[in-house]
Chains A and B, each alone.
Chain A
Amino acid sequence: MTQRYGAAIGAAQPSHGQTVIHPERSQWCDVAAQARADGFEQLLDLTAVDYLTFNAPRQLPEDIKPERFEVVAALISRQRGERLRMRTQVPADDPTVDTLFDLWPSAENLEREAHDMFGIVFEGHPDASRILMPEDWIGHPLRKDYDIGRIPVQFKAASNVR
């Protein structure tokens, strides 16, 4: 893997038998473009993880600095029957990543969802709007500091609301 994508990806390590690479955020698009040229013709999935309250050691290569957010993309090469997962660290004070839309248009909805749920901004995305939540919603529900809300229920005394 390192020969294929250069040193920019951190030490490629298997995670439960699947190949994972860790590109730097600044090289997210470059590494993705290399992967696409390398035959990974489909972007299957893109999501994010908020590691704010993660209580276990982060299993990252030594040269990768852990940050609050992580953007995860799953690629597949149908010809070779190979899968590749790309994970990049995104700091909380500047949650921006370049969009993968130009490489794989399938990133459109997936990045909108990650933006909606985590507040990560995908630079260059053609339609960076909320997708699942109402457009005037405040906050990003899948962040770990976003509490699970409760809706007051009629005929339930307020003191009984769990």
Chain B
Amino acid sequence: MTLIEKDDSAASVTPAETSAASLSQSQSVPAPSLGPVAGAERVSQREPSAVLRMSETEAAAIGGDLDDPEDDELVLLNMGPSHPSTHGVLRLMLELSGETVLRSKPVIGYLHTGMEKTGESLSYLQGGTNVTRMDYASPLFNELAFSLATERLLGIEAPERATWIRMLMCELNRVSSHLLFMATNGMDLGAVSMMIYGWREREEVLRFFEKVTGLRMNHNYIRPGGVAADLPADWRDDVAELIKLIEPRLHEYDTLLTGQPIWRERLQGVGVINTAEALALGATGPLLRSTGMAADLRRDEPYLFYDQVDFDVIVGSYGDCYDRYAIRLNEIRESLHIVSQIIEAMPSGDYRIQDKKVTPPPRARIDASMEALIHHFKIFTEGFKAPPGEAYAAVESPRGELGVYLVSDGTSKPYRVHVRAPSFVNLQTLPHLMQGGLIADGVAIISSIDPIMGEVDR
């Protein structure tokens, strides 16, 4: 760990000097002013980083004086796309002076499978199976945002019990997603045993998901009009058991990581961002909250029944990697707190809307009623139609604002499905967070943004 100690002399290399040296041959860029400029201006004034995506042929054409020792001081390093600490297939181009990162550029698209295009050829009922695969660590949030947008188009509202079930499942999903973060964050920083612990606890949550939805991931459980199935009879015991299991484990994490000097040394003061910069770069979720802004859609624009439960919005104060770690750890506690309230509050009733145009009839009705047979046939062959229009619905996913923008032309398939993926936008802060830090800190920073590449590339 002594290797990553901050070297003050390296950190004091001013960006203006180095960038001017590196760019003098390719293009002239106004040197960024070093005065105390406000966040948004400072961010928009940073040099265009496209120069880093130059091919080797182009770079050779520009050349460089081999005898000039200044030329050797900057190194362009390619990191990824297959790198254990890039959370999938994130590729980074880094401009290095020694071990200090000057400019960097995330290169994405390696996981692009055209899911938004696919969504245009799937009906509203099938759409859930598509979007659920985007953010694969928190699939239920994708389904929820898609269902809310569809319901907004249709002008329907899920029944009370369905809404509470959605909340229960989403908060448990937030727990499992943050546990995954705990695991990977620990692994990225060398606390390898943390990886085992995080995955272990997450698996317990996924086991409950499997019991309810039939699948560990990619559930297609939350559907327009409600949820796919009611909770199993003994769900209260299962959830209570989960809370009883996970809460003490969080104390173990505290012992293992939170107060530990090596862990703190590794994260505190690394990847710092302030509120103005985070807002300018479109950051949401724990990344924005770490700067001290209590922005949480569950509190700001309560959807589902979040206005009926009691929970705290966790904020940081320094905007560094340690804050983001601590926020996620405490958000697990808050989510468990919400879940324990849901156990008490869960009403009885329908788990899906009793609208025969949207919800397929129960199997028994099909034998007895011609109408039911027709509705069943129509829903599964053609699907239900949404009136023409457009709608946007956003939820607070574990990574930030997850929004779904739907355009309908009156048919049973959305005309356009757009997903505002929090990781995609949050990733823009990466060059800003990494500038001036060490490569080893870069790993901590990528980890603390917690990007899910499935949702970045879609």
From B112, B283, B427, contact of A132 by CB (8 A):
B112
CB distance from B300 to the nearest CB of A (A): 5
Is B50 in the interface zone, CB < 8 Å from A?
yes
Complex contacts, B116 vs chain A, CB 8 Å: 117, 142
* Known contacts A81-B301, A127-B49, A148-B121: A18-B109 contact under CB 8 Å: no
B425 contact set on A, CB distance < 8 A: 44-45, 106, 109-110
Establish whether residues A49 and B389, one from each chain, have CB atoms under 8 Å apart when the complex forms: no
Asked if B59 CB lies within 8 Å of chain A CBs, one says no
B18 adjacent to chain A (CB < 8 Å): no
Contact A56:B409 (CB < 8 A) given known A44-B282, A44-B401? yes
Contact A105 B392 (CB under 8 A): no
Cβ 8 A contact of A45, one of B50, B121, B301, B420: B420
Q: Which residue of B lies closest to A146 (CB)?
A: B117
- The main secondary structure of chain B at its interface with chain A is mixed
Indicate if the CB atoms of B109 and A43 lie closer than 8 Å: no
A105 touches B40 (CB 8 A): yes
Cβ of A90 within 8 Å of any chain B Cβ, yes or no, is: no
**Residues of the B chain whose Cβ atoms lie less than 8 Å from the Cβ of A15:** 389-391
Q: Binding site of A, secondary structure by majority: helix, strand, loop or mixed?
A: loop
Q: When each residue 31-74 of chain A gets 1 if its CB lies under 8 Å from chain B and 0 otherwise, what string results? A: 00000000001111101011000111101000000000000101
Which residues in window 408-447 of B have CB below 8 A to A?
Answer: 408-411, 415-416, 418, 420, 424-425, 427-428
Instruction: Say whether A141 contacts B403, CB under 8 Å.
Output: no
Inter-chain contact A72/B53, CB cutoff 8 Å: no
Interface flag for B152 (CB, 8 Å)? yes
Asked if B243 lies at the interface with its beta carbon under 8 angstroms from chain A, I say: no
Which residues of chain A (80-139) have a CB below 8 Å from chain B?
Answer: 81, 85, 101-102, 104-106, 108-110, 113, 117, 126-127, 129-134
Is A162 located at the chain interface by the 8 A CB criterion?
no
Residue B303 lies at the interface, judged by CB distance under 8 Å to chain A: no
Residues in A neighbouring B114, C-beta threshold 8 A:
141
In Å, the complex CA distance between A78 and B280 comes to 12
User: What count of chain A residues pass the 8 Å CB interface test?
Assistant: 43
Which of A49, A55, A113, A142 contacts B410 (CB under 8 A)? A55
Are A78 and B282 interface neighbours, CB within 8 A?
no
Q: Is A16 an interface residue (CB 8 A)?
A: yes
In angstroms, how far is the closest chain A Cβ from the Cβ of B286? 16
Cβ-defined contact, A134 with B109, below 8 A: yes
- Cα(A148)–Cα(B121), bound, Å: 10
Contacts of B284 in A (CB 8 A): 44
Chain A residue contacts of B261, Cβ below 8 A: none
Q: What's the Cα separation between A41 and B43 when bound, in Å?
A: 14
The residue in chain B whose Cβ has the minimal distance to the Cβ of A57 is B388
Residue picked from B40, B293, B392, B409, most chain A C-beta under 10 Å: B392
A144 to B458, CA, bound (A): 18
**Also in contact, A81 and B109, with CB within 8 A (given A42-B279, A47-B405, A105-B280):** no
A141 and B391 within 8 A (CB): no
When distances are taken between beta carbons in the complex, the residues of chain A under 8 Å from B293 are 78
Q: Which residues of B contact A56 (CB under 8 A)?
A: 388, 408-410
B53, B108, B418: the one within 8 Å of A47 (CB):
B418
Chain B: CB-nearest residue to A20: B390
Closest-CB distance, B455 to chain A (whole angstroms):
12
In the complex, are the beta carbons of A101 and B279 less than 8 A apart?
no
A85-B407 contact in complex given A44-B401, A105-B43, C-beta closer than 8 Å: no
A47 cross-chain contacts in B, Cβ below 8 A = 405, 418, 420
For B152, what are the chain A residues with a Cβ–Cβ distance below 8 Å? 16-17
Q: B450 to nearest A CB, angstroms?
A: 17
**Contact at B403–A44, with CB atoms within 8 Å?**
yes
> What residues of chain A lie closer than 8 Å to B33, measured between beta carbons?
none
C-alpha gap A113/B43 in the complex (Å): 20
Taking the nearest CB of chain A, how far is it from the CB of B319, in angstroms?
16
Tell me whether A142 and B117 are in contact (CB under 8 A). yes
The answer, among A59, A78, A105, A130, for a CB contact under 8 Å with B388, is A59
Once A15-B389, A47-B405, A142-B116 are accepted as A-B contacts, the answer to whether A131 and B109 lie under 8 Å apart by CB is: yes
CA distance A148 to B115 in the complex (A): 11
How far does the alpha carbon of A50 sit from the alpha carbon of B418 in the complex, in Å? 12
CB contact between A59 and one of B43, B389, B420 (< 8 Å): that residue? B389
A16 to B389, CA, bound (A): 9
B409 contact set on A, CB distance < 8 A: 54-56
Contact yes or no, B44 A101, CB < 8 A: yes
CB contact between A133 and one of B44, B112, B283 (< 8 Å): that residue: B112
Query: In this assembly, does B153 line the interface, its C-beta being within 8 Å of a C-beta of chain A?
Result: yes
In the bound complex, how far is the Cα of B112 from the Cα of A72, in angstroms? 22
Q: Which residues in chain B, 28-79, are within 8 Å of chain A measured between CB atoms?
A: 40, 43-44, 48-50, 53
In the A-B complex, list the 8 residue pairs whose CB atoms are closest, starting with the nearest.
A106-B282, A56-B388, A132-B109, A127-B50, A45-B420, A126-B48, A132-B112, A56-B409
11 contacts between A and B (CB under 8 A): A15-B391, A41-B279, A44-B394, A45-B418, A55-B409, A78-B293, A78-B295, A85-B392, A104-B280, A132-B457, A148-B117
With contacts A78-B300, A142-B416 known, what are 9 further pairs, Cβ within 8 A?
A44-B282, A45-B418, A49-B407, A85-B392, A109-B428, A110-B282, A127-B50, A132-B109, A142-B117
A contact residues vs B (CB 8 Å cutoff): 15-18, 41-45, 47, 49-50, 54-57, 59, 72, 74, 78, 81, 85, 101-102, 104-106, 108-110, 113, 117, 126-127, 129-134, 141-142, 148
